Amino acid sequence: EDSPLLDRLVGIADLGGGTVIVDAIDDMNLTTLHGQFFEGAFKLYENIREVLVGQGHKISVYEVETMLREGGIGEMYTWSPNSRETFDFTSVVMKERRRYSRRVASMILSVFKDLSKFYRILITGGTANLVVKEEILAEIPIAEFSENSEVANLNGFYKYGLNAGLGDDDEE
């Protein structure tokens, strides 16, 4: 299927658990524009945990991750350390998500210094659903977020393999 992305300069930001990887493709070829930052989702979780521990809560990074992955419905984040108490951490989580989102935008812009050359900047990866999209779009108006970002890379490699004829062997 023809896509306007196939023959243009396109940036890709893969937001993972441990890293943010920024690359560009031009006419479907990888360019020399590349950056790798060790500030993935776990950095966000650690930042949130630091604030909450500073407020006197004994919460682990794992509990923060669980709260973000399971919560967020209506952007409300709560944590219950036991069956008796529930804490509403929405304001802390949203403040840190906004801060992290601006940091991600800054990482992308440090690699792609002239956005006018790009057709689009695609945001993908498992952490793409944790950033505040409006914060990214304020800095990078040509950003586009992948649907089902947690499996977008897998789907992309699968489609690439199909297009390259991989898996067409008649041998069984």
Closest by CA position to 144, among listed 108, 94, 113, 111: 108
**What does the pLDDT average to over 85-99?**
96
* pLDDT higher than 80, residue 37: yes
Question: What's the farthest any 2 CA atoms get from each other in the chain?
Answer: 63
- The SS3 assignment for 16 reads coil
In the prediction, which pLDDT does 73 show?
64
Of the pLDDT bands very low, low, confident and very high (cuts 50, 70, 90), residue 147 is: confident
Higher per-residue pLDDT: 147 or 58: 58
Whether pTM > 0.95 for this model: the answer is no
**Percent of the chain with pLDDT strictly greater than 90:** 72
> What is the rounded distance in angstroms from the CA atom of residue 44 to the CA atom of residue 132?
12
Tokens of 143: 């950003």
Count the neighbouring beta carbons within 10 Å of the beta carbon of residue 128: 23
Mean pLDDT of the chain: 87
In the prediction, which pLDDT does 74 show?
72
With b for 16 or more beta-carbon neighbours within 10 A and e for fewer, the 69-91 pattern comes to: eebbeeeebebeeeeeeebebee
> Per-residue pLDDT tens for 122-145?
999 999 999 999 999 999 999 999
**What does the pLDDT average to over 50-73?**
92
